[in-house]
DNA sequence: AATGAATGAGCCTTCATTCAT
DNA sequence: AATGAATGAAGGCTCATTCAT
């Protein structure tokens, strides 16, 4: 998080390139990233990028694989030693929400890649994502089979968790812009509903989503 | 669905361009769409596109505005005459889910645009989206104020509804690919979990999401 | 030949590009030709080249195919109606020598391509050269079989004819340079051998080569 | 011939570079040789090349000078002690043919350089070639003056000798390819002329060329 | 209304070369 | 003696856009 600032000088050239590339891919997408811009941002010569990475696609692949591994590692780490389906589901949900919140660049890249139907994802990268999906399934399936979870399509749960939350974080940004603009433009005659918006501050969102999911999935215990 | 084939000849040149542009923007994003490719797909000369649209940005804007208007119109139409907070919420959720499901291209474009922080959205387009968001707020706020809905951040609900469902539809595609590949590669000795996947067919998803949201929002009436 | 000067304005853009490309390929080889330089020489925008030709390779291919066709057409035309093995061989030799002398660019390109073992020659181009070689064989083989020609490897004859003469034209250029330099540097005390050089002016060369070949191939008739 | 394998370890780094460079220049020409590729082939770091050679041009020059010296040395060696114009011409022709046949790389490089009008040849290199040409002239001129040789342009003789034979060796390669392809494609129904080709095997070529030249140059003695 | 031809700007990539070690 | 890292300067090619018709 704050590594960038503190360790900026410590990063190797390759790491510097990867770091900036991730940010730029997230901002502009695969086609939108310009190698010139990346070189400038990473403060290296354009040719230096090609010293470390075969081409743009390979740079992207490196990032995507890193993403997959990072996500998998975090979930694995968090789940370690957790027993009981409900506890495991709870930890899993928290892990997912945290990852999406902490790794904004990655979440965005994934979202876009998903929208483009995995267009720029190579088989190698795809293979890295498989274990993650399998792991999610194991967890959810176990709960369903043990009877403490309602029968639910695991993918759907996953979607609400990751897709819903990521969308929330994204739209919050846009929303704030709307409000600022309106505020500037309308002067003081805000409508009541706009007042209303202000009274419901942007919540963290994680707890609500978790509650929404658990409320649906976990069977009432009597 | 089969409109393309039947009406292909009926479409004006301008409509043909817009139709193909929407599909290509959805597939490749703003930067990914090539005017050459569009001309080819629309079976017109490249210069013809510029006869109808000032430039690429203007073409995109036209589509985005159309998107916003279409969404707003559908919601308005569906809500017409519906009374009662719960009923209105129900219809609203259905409208949202239907729209996302029916207008895949638009949903994808919006998702990507959101990820890129509205990068290619002009003020004019932005203005078109405002009424939609306002309408959603009215509906949700009313229910909250009337006490039949739990206090919830409307944006969060919106996110689970639109973001969660769109994500579900997207990942379903990728998922099916994974399964096909694995099926091809592993031959016949699928593990049990893979069997399991098969037993939970890809549900429509709409009902679950609706239930999940309503379960969280609607207060139990005693 | 003098078309360039007279018809320069009449050439289509595509022809202009091809014409200049041929000259530049001859001067610098495939790798040595710079698309920028070509654009400048042809007085068109660089992108215009790509409007007419897919890429550098395709441009080269177009020229090579043209070359092959031009050569074949000229030989065919000259041979038309010629009867008798000796007469045909004579006409064939003249055609070859004339072609090499008239189409200097082409001869150079072919020579280089041969040296690089056909490196930049695509199958399509290769196919165009086949008929030429076959035609040469027919002619020579017939003479050999009819007994008026000495048994000779046709390829060898071809080599002396084309390779020897082309080499002669090339080295004449270099030779002249040597002499000029020496003349400038040595002042007036030229050695006798240098005087000698001057007394044997650069002959056309065609007649000598033709005589050399015929002297070897044609059997003395008694 | 098999020197490469046996002496590979014995070569100094500099020699290794020169050896591989010569081969690569012959294959791809000056512009076609990539310093990266050379480094890889010579199994040294790219910077190592620059440790031994100022730049690409200087590397090329070193090779070209070596070429000239080698050629000159061989001719000088072979001619040593040979008396009589005809004998000397005979030895000279043999030397030339042998050199062209033995030093394929060099012959190719020279051929290409000639085609490009000595483009990459520096004055220093040019100076090395002068003695060779002078020596050839001496030999030929002497024979002409002594009356045992027909009056002939020495350069033309040189061209047929070197140019014709080198061309023959080059085109033999391409020719064999044609035949292989045709053989593969036509199956077993070769036409008669194809049969014919097979019956005239690729001769060495040296004797024919020598005979062709001598037949033309040497005056019949009665 | 529509298009073939042409282009300026810029993109990804490569190349010969240098630097610090 | 030798090299991993880095680079300035192109090089081939593409893109959105315009022009003349």
- What is the pLDDT, as a whole number, of residue D127? 84
User: How many CB atoms sit inside 10 A of residue D152's CB?
Assistant: 20
Q: Which residues of B touch A203 (CB under 8 A)?
A: 153, 156
How far is B170 from B206, CA to CA, in rounded Å? 14
Q: Are the C-beta atoms of B96 and B135 separated by less than 8 Å? A: no
Confidence category of residue D33, pLDDT binned at 50, 70, 90: very high
Count, in order, helices (H) and strands (E) of chain D: 12, 0
Set of chain B residues whose Cβ sits within 8 Å of the Cβ of A216: 208, 211-212, 215-216
Contact flag A115-B108 (C-beta cutoff 8 Å): yes
Do residues B61 and B18 touch, judged by C-beta distance below 8 A?
Answer: no
Residues B21/B63, Cβ–Cβ less than 8 Å: yes
Return the structure tokens found at A33: 């990233």
Would you call B212 and A216 a contact, using CB atoms and an 8 Å cutoff? yes
Q: Is C215 on the interface with D (CB under 8 A)?
A: yes
Task: Read off the pLDDT of residues A169-187 as tens digits, 9 standing for 90 and up.
Answer: 999 888 887 777 666 665 5
CA proximity to A134, closest of B197, B164, B184: B197
CA distance C168 to C205: 8
Residue D175 is predicted with a pLDDT of 80
What are the residues with a C-beta under 7 Å from any atom of nucleic chain F? A 13-14, 44-48, 50-52; B 33-36, 46-47, 50, 54-57; C 33-36, 46-47, 50, 54-57; D 13-14, 44-48, 50-51
| Residue C18 confidence (pLDDT) above 70 | yes
Please indicate whether residue C132 or residue B110 has the higher confidence score (pLDDT).
B110
Sign of CA dihedral C81, C159, D110, D158: negative
What are φ and ψ of residue D136, in 5° steps?
A: -60, -45
Q: What are the φ/ψ torsions at residue D76 (nearest 5 degrees)?
A: -55, -45
Q: What angle do CA B28, B30, B33 make, to 5 degrees?
A: 55
- B/A Cβ contact: 3+ pairs below 8 Å: yes
- The beta strand positions in A27-140, using DSSP E, are none
Report the b/e string of D132-143 with b at 16+ CB within 10 A. bbbebbebbbeb
Give the residue ranges of DSSP H helices in C53-164: 56-79, 85-102, 104-115, 123-145, 154-158
> Is residue A36 pLDDT above 80, yes or no?
yes
Separation between Cα atoms, residue B168 and residue A111, nearest integer Å: 11
pTM: 0.88
Distance CA A22, CA A62 (A): 10
Residues from chain B contacting residue A111 (CB–CB below 8 Å): 111-112, 115, 167
Which of B98, B94, B170, B163 minimizes the C-alpha distance to A161?
A: B163
Question: Residue C183 — pLDDT band, cuts 50, 70, 90?
Answer: low
8 Å CB contact of C31 and D27? no
Each residue of C71-126: pLDDT tens digit? 888 889 999 999 999 999 999 999 999 999 999 999 999 999 999 999 999 888 88
């Amino acid at each position: 998080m704050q590594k960038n600032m503190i360790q900026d000088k410590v990063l190797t050239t390759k790491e510097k390139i990867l770091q900036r590339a991730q940010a730029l891919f997230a901002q502009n997408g695969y086609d939108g990233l310009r190698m010139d811009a990346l070189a400038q941002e990473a403060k290296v010569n354009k040719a230096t990028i090609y010293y470390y990475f075969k081409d743009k696609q390979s740079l992207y692949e490196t990032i995507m694989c890193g993403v997959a591994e990072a996500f998998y590692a975090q979930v694995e780490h968090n789940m370690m030693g957790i027993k009981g389906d409900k506890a495991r589901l709870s930890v899993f949900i928290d892990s997912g929400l945290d990852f999406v919140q902490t790794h904004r660049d990655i979440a965005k890249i994934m979202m876009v890649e998903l929208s483009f139907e995995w267009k720029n994802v190579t088989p190698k990268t795809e293979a890295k994502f498989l274990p993650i999906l399998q792991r999610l399934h194991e967890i959810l399936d176990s709960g369903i089979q043990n009877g403490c979870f309602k029968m639910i399509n695991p993918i759907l749960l996953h979607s609400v968790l990751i897709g819903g939350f990521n969308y929330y974080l994204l739209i919050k940004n846009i929303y704030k812009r709307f409000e600022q603009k309106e505020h500037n433009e309308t002067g003081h005659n805000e409508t009541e509903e706009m007042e209303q918006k202000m009274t419901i501050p942007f919540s963290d969102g994680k707890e609500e989503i978790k509650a929404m999911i658990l409320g649906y999935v976990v069977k009432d215990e009597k």
